[in-house]
Amino acid sequence: MVLAVLAGFTNQYLHIDQASLGDLALYVGIGLGLIFYLISIAVVRYVLRYDEVQLKGKNRYITLGGGTFIVLWIMLTVLLHTIKL
């Protein structure tokens, strides 16, 4: 969850929007969010050392927080873009 918030703030800090990057802004923003999500997967798997038994599935560490990450990241990005922090 912390990395989703960090991804949202990074989108705003790097000024990833239609005015600065044009049509490329969508792909850059999605790529940045994907990078942060991959980092969160690595944290769960290698830093926190959760395994298949604890997560109750072989590749569960990939899908476990995906929905929450995406929703929080997009909502925070839109909110920050709207209020222009």
pLDDT in tens, 59-69: 665 666 778 88
Q: How far apart are CA 33 and CA 58, in angstroms?
A: 24
Distances in Å between the Cα of 83 and the Cα atoms of 4, 17, 38, 77 are 18, 13, 28, 10
Report residue 1 as tokens.
């969850």
pLDDT in tens, 33-75: 889 888 988 887 788 777 777 667 666 656 667 788 888 888 8
* Longest CA span, the chain: 47
Q: Does the reported pTM lie above 0.75?
A: no
Counting the structural domains of the chain, the total is: 1
Residue 85 per-residue DSSP state: -
Chain Cα centroid distance, residue 49: 20
Q: How far apart are CA 29 and CA 74, in angstroms?
A: 10
